[in-house]
Structure 1
Amino acid sequence: MKTIPIITFFLCTVMYAHAQLNIVPKNDGLKEYTVTNAHPYDSLTNVEKRSFTSLPGQTLYMHGVKNDRNGYWDAFYTVNFLTGDDRTVYKAVNISTTPSKEVVGKYYEVVKVWTKTDYLSAGCCLLLREKESGDEMYYNPFRYPLSMTCIGYYEKLKRFVGQTFLSLAKAVETEDGQVITPAEGAEYRCVDIGLKMNSDGAFLLMEGADGVRVEAFPIGGDEVYEFVSTARIGQLEKRYGEKYGKLIAFRKVDTGMTREMVIAAWGEPYHKSEVKKEGRTLETLRFSDNRYVELLDGEVQYVRIY
């Protein structure tokens, strides 16, 4: 009989402890951004992963992608597709496709942005309000990443007008649609910017010494895919010396460079490995387009472009 109070006390203690548990709900990885908590917008970036959380309050223009006659598949929805199973497509035909005419050539205000990261995927949803009609839709920016241009980004591109550029010997398109490849180092001047429908969007209009004008596409920051500005060449030469600065500007890698120089020229590698032996470090870096670099104690010893 004397054990009963002890057992009763023990049970009460367990029940009390259970009642005091701090139950934390499972984090579904969903984050919401509005104009009140959006990250500061950097107008050097367009609509891309690194800028998604800064887009609330910005205006986007849908110029569309190439060959979109069949519409946009699973890109525009009537609900937030990150929060449930409902994935009803905006003004759909054939269940999952929004016709091009319903979304292209229009301006949109970014009302909200949601990002979601879990063990299986990373996603983003933009709540857009079409400026003219007031229609709202939920947009997946990963589906057609080059279909929209942020107006703030477009306006910032005007900084390139009047600058001098040198060709990187890449194919470019002229105003009349011809494709040419200017010689490496050929001088051009940026005379205007434009936004082409059903293309990669905003571009720089470059004029060569022969008066021929060609299109070039900015790729973030102060870089242009087909050209390098003389101002950037000067900056890189000041930082890395005349020899290596110019090589980096023309996106070339050579022996004697440091790891920092390689990344400045080619960007981050998609694969890297490191081996230590007898106090020395051999590092290998692999880049897109079959480019391969070996560094010994941080200095490039071998470069191969397949």
Structure 2
Amino acid sequence: MKASSQTVGYDSLTNFLGDKPHPYIGEVLYLKGKPAFQRNEGYENFVIDYKIDKLKKDNVYQCCDYYNAKYDALHGHSFKVTAVLPHPKAVSKPYPYASLFFLQLQDVVNNQTCYYEYDTKLASKFPFTVVGYYEKIKNNSIGNNYVFKNAEVRKLTGKNPQPGELWKCTDMIIENEENKIAMKFANGAGISFTVPYDEVAGTYNAAEAFTETAAAGYKQRFGNENWNALLYNQLKNGMSEEMCRVAWGEPNRTNNLSDGTEQWVYETRYLYFKGGKLTRVQ
């Protein structure tokens, strides 16, 4: 089975490429760490030969913690992507294998070749930071001012912030514990904190911060009263769908009810809309 001949370059705008992984070719991936309580599980989906079952222990790269690669053997390694290969079973069994690929990797530490089974549907399971992505967002973030949601600042500093207070990004790092991208911020009073980039960007949940430019745009569109409420994650009837997304992020799913109401389902809460306006919070 041959690697794709696609040569579309990586634009460094996204860490996880979903169902279009071929631009990873030529990029360097940095393997992220795990919380202490997960380290004994090792790293899953690393194999020596992508044509052999990944559950065969003698095919696990840097075997083994359970049936996975040893955590201590791979933690902190970088890998260069040399090819992207379709799953060997993708033709004979499109479901579920059509959504799986193998990234052919060169381990930068020891120059060995291995393969990582890449699932196009599971962004949260992707264990790498693309070095080019990290460098780009670092260059684009340092020196910029951000407005944080009030609860986030209170959690990080123990102080009640002023609504709309500006925090300057002073640095971006890969923190030591879990090797995740983190951003450092400080305000004019010299108070500083460090926060995971995914929380700022809203990678998995609602964004906890906005660039000064984006915040000014929201404030102008929504009005000062609504904007300040959203910084506290507070919703009220009549708010638009966009306002609710800013406060709570994208819903897990939506349902169209028989009375013409649209229901947004979050983990433990529900929102109801008619004509694009919020009518009830449950």
Task: Sort the TM-score into its range (normalised by shorter chain).
Answer: 0.7 to 0.9
1:216 corresponds to 2:195: yes
Match 1:119 to one of 82, 95, 98: 95
Structure having the higher Rg? 1
CA distance in 2 between counterparts of 1:130 and 1:204 reads 27
User: Residue by residue, what CA displacement relative to the aligned partner does 1:105-134 show, whole Å, maximum 9, x if unpaired?
Assistant: 222111223456743464343211122432
Deviates more, 1:136-145 or 1:148-157: 136-145
Q: What code does the residue aligned with 2:150 have? A: A
What secondary structure does 1:140 align onto?
strand
Aligned counterparts, 1:216-235, within 5 A: 216-219=195-198, 225-235=207-217
Indicate conservation of the 8 Å contact 1:171/1:182, yes or no.
no
Partner of 2:274: 296
Aligned counterparts, 1:112-151, within 5 A: 112-114=83-85, 118-120=94-96, 122-141=99-118, 145=125, 147-151=127-131
Partner of 2:254: 272
CA distance in 2 between counterparts of 1:244 and 1:169 reads 14
TM-score, scaled to structure 2: 0.75
Partner of 1:58: 27
User: Residue by residue, what CA displacement relative to the aligned partner does 1:200-258 show, whole Å, maximum 9, x if unpaired?
Assistant: 51111111344232112223995585433222212334555555556556655432123
Q: Shift in Å at residue 79 of structure 1?
A: 1.6
Indicate conservation of the 8 Å contact 2:45/2:54, yes or no.
no
Q: CA RMSD in A?
A: 3.5
Deviates more, 1:148-157 or 1:54-63: 54-63
1:107 corresponds to 2:78: yes
CA distance in 2 between counterparts of 1:141 and 1:271 reads 25
Partner of 1:77: 47
Indicate conservation of the 8 Å contact 1:65/1:147, yes or no.
no
**Runs of 4+ with >6 A deviation:** none
**Amino-acid identity (%):** 20
Q: Shift in Å at residue 285 of structure 1?
A: 1.1
1:163 corresponds to 2:140: no
Indicate conservation of the 8 Å contact 1:147/1:201, yes or no.
no
Q: What code does the residue aligned with 1:231 have? A: T
**Cα 1:52–1:217, aligned 2, differ >3 Å: closer, same or farther?**
farther
CA distance in 1 between counterparts of 2:187 and 2:78 reads 33
Bigger helix fraction: 2
Deviates more, 1:109-118 or 1:184-193: 109-118
**Cα 1:268–1:239, aligned 2, differ >3 Å: closer, same or farther?**
same
Indicate conservation of the 8 Å contact 2:169/2:184, yes or no.
yes
> Which ranges of structure 2 fall in alignment gaps of 5 or more residues?
none
Q: Shift in Å at residue 54 of structure 1?
A: 2.9
> Which ranges of structure 1 fall in alignment gaps of 5 or more residues?
1-29
TM-score, scaled to structure 1: 0.70
What secondary structure does 2:244 align onto?
helix
CA distance in 2 between counterparts of 1:119 and 1:146 reads 20
1:92 corresponds to 2:63: yes
Q: What code does the residue aligned with 2:14 have? A: T
Aligned length: 263
